Structure 1
């Protein structure tokens, strides 16, 4: 959503391309504003109204003066990119991801309205409070950080003697990676960003395999805590790499639009 909406706002992608790209995540996308005053300002459905489709969201973003988006991936203990104790921050933190359009003062959070309804993804539009200055993490630094964190985590797990060696784990990791949707991207996004996003998915699959306690092989409470502490920097580096890769794509698309 961040990359495609930014491409559309800069005139480098058609609205139909954006809507087609979003269908990878859900057959139907619903849009509502978080509160009625914001709904009236953006001409979107309010929290109690019948939701609209994403085409109306795009029009509302342009009307609000948005030009580019930013990906935030908050977790407990790391809420960078959020706006303090607001409804947006609470919802984004519970979801673990959100799109921020700071120049328009808007935040978007995707949620499944009904866990049983896999085909629907709802985007709630929030008005942002006071935002912290945007952080910039160079792509090379993010990539290096992920590689370093992976080496350190592997070493720590080995030292703790809780690195797991179970049959079929490589196949599990490969299956997790291949199960991710095959995404389409706007023309002209940097290939390095795409490679880093792919690498982040692979590392995340390894992390989930490393934290999956099979029946009969559960760790003690102290070993579980030690493993969590060892892997936390790697989880953090995956999120940082994704944020950086998306930010670089948005930057390149904006520059491309300016040159045209």
Structure 2
């Protein structure tokens, strides 16, 4: 990406693909892009969820197409890239937001649980980045990491390992793909999503601990992450690459 004097934070006129974009943080990012004038393909493994996401995006005036994607399957990602480009033109923005989490201690975790977390959360980022970057001449890749990459979280060994790897992939691919393609990561803290919501809602003691430790005294909504994604995808961030930006309300001591 060449230097620019345009510091406006907007993705208007850009084409985006959000993998894992039918729920939670990914969905919020896809909708934020569309509201700001981007055309967006929002995808996941579920045909029904993808169709619903496409309808939401069209209601916001975005061009889109409904195509599913399983990040564990290279051919599935290649199909997504082709169909998204056929529908929108060259892709300017890729968001890697697909995620799962196995809840088990190191002594109880199965090989299948470990391999699934690593394959979806880490290897999926590798595959998607490689496939899309080969066809991108300019643009921005945003990986959704987690503060769990730097936090000791019990019964999250595979997830923490995968997200630490996402931070490493982010920095290494930023070096590989510069200067034309920027690569950054967003590391959310406790966000009220389908994945984290049940724990935050059902365990009052845990929720009280989170609120007490967080300087902002609450958890966030996915929309409070999407604004950072718009910035990182915009030309205003033309000199920002290889960064992992934590959005946790100050929960991590290193961020306050």
Q: Which structure is larger by alpha-carbon Rg, 1 or 2?
A: 1
Quick check: which one's helix share is greater? 1
Shorter-chain TM-score category? under 0.3
What's the TM-score, normalizing by structure 1?
A: 0.27
What's the TM-score, normalizing by structure 2?
A: 0.27
